[in-house]
Amino acid sequence: MTYEFDGHTEKEAVDKAIKELGLEQDCFDVEILESQKGGLFRKGYVKIRIHIDDGGIDPVNGEAKQRHGGRQTGGRRNYRDSSRSELTYQKPSAPLPPENEFEEDLLAFITQTVHLMGHTDASSAILYRESRKLVAGIEASDTPVLIGRKGHTLDSLQLIVNNYAAKQGRPNLRIILDCQGYRLRREDSLVRMALRAADRVRRTRQSLLLEPMNPFDRRIIHTAIGDMDDVGTESEGNGAIKQVRVFFRGGGKRR
C-alpha cells in the first residue's frame, strides 16, 4: 500500500503522512521521489512515497498481525531468530555491580551529568559488559524527555560519555547508554523496518531509501540485512546523519 505526500522539506512531508495516516514513522518506509533545494527567494520542494506493509510484526512473538485491529495473519518469519544486531544486550534481572574504579567513576559521571540536565532523581547502573562494550542504564522519572525524539537526547549524552571514557584511557571501549529499555525497543523497530524494506525491494526489484539515521541506527539496518544474498544496503550522504539505501542485487553478492 503506497501514498504520496509533498512539502517544502522532507520532514514536513513526513509529518503530513504521520498526521493523515495516523501512524508512527517506524510503521512505514519513506521513498524520496523528488527533491529540490530552496534558494534565497524560493522554498524547497520534496515529494515522497510512503510504503505501508499490509501486516506488521508482533514484537513479542514475531508473528504477523494487521496494523488495524491486531488480527493474526501468519506467514512472516520471526525476525528475532533470523537477523539480530551486534548491539543487542541481554537485560539483566538486576544491575551489575561496578567491577573497577573506572566503572564507578563512569557511573558517577553519568549521574552527575544527568542531574545537571535537570533530572535530579536520576540514577545509573551497569546493565551489560563485554571486553570492548559496556551498557549503562539510566533510571529517571521523566524518561521521554531524557530520551528525546527518536533518542536524540540520549544519543547526545552517549557521545559525551564516550568522550569521557576516551579521556580516562578507554578509547576502545564502546559505551552504550539505555533508558527504560529504549535501545532494545528501538532496535526491534529498526529490524522490523529493515525486513519490511528488504521484502519490498525483493518484490519490486527497486531500491528503497530509508529515513536519515545516526551511525548507531544504520549499523542495525546493515546488520539485519547483511546476511541476505539477494538484498544489500549502502549508506548515502555526508556527515554523521546519513540514509540507508536498500537495493536488489539478485542471487550474487555485491561488493
**What is the set of domains in the chain, with CATH numbers?**
2-84+186-248 (3.30.1370.50), 101-180 (3.30.300.20)
Q: What is the mean pLDDT of the chain?
A: 79
Q: State the pLDDT at residue 34.
A: 78
Higher pLDDT, 253 or 156: 156
The per-residue pLDDT for range 181-219, each reduced to its tens digit, is 888 888 888 898 999 999 999 999 999 999 888 888 898
Q: State the pLDDT at residue 109.
A: 97
Which of 38-47, 123-132, 217-226 is least confident? 38-47
Handedness of CA 134, 138, 143, 145 (dihedral sign): negative
Quote the distance between the C-alpha of residue 68 and its chain's center: 23
Q: State the pLDDT at residue 52.
A: 64
Dig out the grid coordinates for 249 from the structure: 542485487
The per-residue pLDDT for range 18-47, each reduced to its tens digit, is 777 666 666 667 777 777 777 666 788 888
Report the C-alpha gap between 200 and 198 in whole angstroms: 5
Banded model confidence at residue 240, pLDDT cuts 50, 70, 90? confident
Per-residue burial over 21-48, b = 16 or more CB atoms within 10 Å of its CB, e = otherwise: beeebbbbbbbbeeeeeeeeeeeeebbb
Per-residue burial over 49-67, b = 16 or more CB atoms within 10 Å of its CB, e = otherwise: bbbbbebbbeeeebebbee
DSSP assignments along 5-27, one per residue: EEESSHHHHHHHHHHHHT--GGG
Report the C-alpha gap between 248 and 201 in whole angstroms: 6
The per-residue pLDDT for range 134-168, each reduced to its tens digit, is 999 999 988 888 998 878 899 999 999 999 999 99
Q: State the pLDDT at residue 234.
A: 93
**pLDDT (average), residues 164-179:** 93
Task: Give the DSSP H/E element, type plus range, for residue 65.
Answer: strand 64-66
